[in-house]
Amino acid sequence: MSDSDQNSKYSSPLVSRYASAEMSSNFSNNTRFSTWRRLWLNLAIAEKQLGLSEISDEAIEEMRENLNNIDYKVAAEEEKRRRHDVMAHVHAFGLVAPKAAGIIHLGATSCYVTDNADLIIYRDALDIVIKKLVYVIDELSKFAIKYKDLPTLGFTHFQPAQLTTVGKRASLWLQDLLMDLRNLERAREDLKFRGVKGTTGTQASFMQLFHGDHDKVEELDQLVSTLSGFKESYPVAGQTYSRKVDIDLLCPLASFGASAHKIATDIRLLAHMKEIEEPFERDQIGSSAMAYKRNPMRSERVCSLSRHLMTLIGNVMQTASTQWLERTLDDSANRRITMPEAFLTADIVLTTLQNIFQGLVVYPQVISRHILQELPFMATENIIMAMVEIGESRQECHEQVRVLSHEAAYVVKHEGKENDLLERIKKTKYFEPILPKLDLLLDPSTFIGRAPQQVDSFINKHVNPALAKYEEILSNKSAAEINV
């Protein structure tokens, strides 16, 4: 197809603009239809092994040699004529493997290849997502450790609250991502194969092939599952595997979307305050009109795509809930869109998060200035306690501090000036006895509690053990790049 032809047709931006080549390839036609052929090969191998003499070694060899030799033009023409995609590809496969033409798809229903191929593709997609999530967790854990001691304003209701540290805040993000990793690992571990179940799941066609031998039919199901890389198949099925499986796959993906959206939103808020900034290339343009701008476009993209990811879970729930009896076909067109989009979107969000974390910039001086604007108010309790220690009345000290605090707050809110509470305290004779230790009472590091120790403990007890089994994957980690 020429460039002009490509540009005259709609192309999903998930693939054309954002997704990695790895995930795009996993959902490509080449992967899907070569997987169909491998499934037909696995079925023939198992059936021959269990005694079907009509399947020759030559037929199996021809199938093996042509797994990727797919003539899409022939398949498209046959599908247009037959209105059946599976039979179109059976025909195309038989043309290049003529000795196998008569036994391809023997005893199977269409869902043998469509559903089983989907499960293989979803399994491999989960592996990609888990790998990339591990990369993200690893990058963020390094960031948390680096900034575990750096005090920063904590916020509740987006109003200044007790201090925390930059690294401690990052550990909150990390904890959510660890939950996502656990959920995705569970989904990956729980995923099974549809196997060899027949048209309505009764295996009737295979009972006929094996002359009523229940043991051989059960062995066939297990053998094909093993050949296809699964420990076991779902024990029962209708024509399809239960579409509740799709819910189990998309729930952790949608949940990750919520985590990613929260993290990216936090970064956007902090970027507004100029405390933290995502990577910004030398020639990057933040605004076509305002040349000075440095918009958090990566974090905005994470939020945008995460919202899409979160909405997809409702789609698969509706599909699962409306499958009549052994199945209806109203799931098909929906799933062709929803399932790949969920994995493609998660893939994009993960790559973008890794790119953000590996270049996230912190501005300690800005953070310090913001602390100093609020710390005098937060330090009043320390000042009151210091006065009580030298014998002053708490009630009297509280009143002194209250009056000065209100005066300072008026200056900040009505005159737009800096918080001058400390200067007012220093000029008030009542507080002269504690002035020598006032700086110590205002040291930000004394307001962060156990935040640094919490980060260390969390990383050592929870993050590192979760990453330990991915040591080989992490050894091959490369920098995440985003093209646009």
Q: Is 287 annotated in the active site?
A: yes
Q: Which of 157, 414, 475, 478 is catalytic?
A: 157
Rounded Cα–Cα distance for residues 159 and 333 (Å): 47
Rounded Cα–Cα distance for residues 253 and 313 (Å): 9
Q: Is 157 annotated in the active site?
A: yes
The 3-class secondary structure across 379-446, one letter per residue, is CHHHHHHHHHHCCCCHHHHHHHHHHHHHHHHHHHHHHCCCCCHHHHHHCCHHHHHHHHHHHHHCCHHH
Rounded Cα–Cα distance for residues 226 and 190 (Å): 15
Rounded Cα–Cα distance for residues 141 and 171 (Å): 7
Q: Are 425 and 431 in contact (CB under 8 A)?
A: yes
Rounded to 5°, the CA angle 98-193-228 comes to 45
Tell me which residue of 474, 450, 455 sits closest to 141, measured CA to CA. Answer: 455
Q: What crossing angle do the helices spanning 166-190 and 110-146 adopt, rounded to 10°?
A: 160
Q: Which of 287, 304, 393, 457 is catalytic?
A: 287
Tell me which residue of 61, 184, 55, 41 sits closest to 126, measured CA to CA. Answer: 184
The catalytic residues are: 157, 287
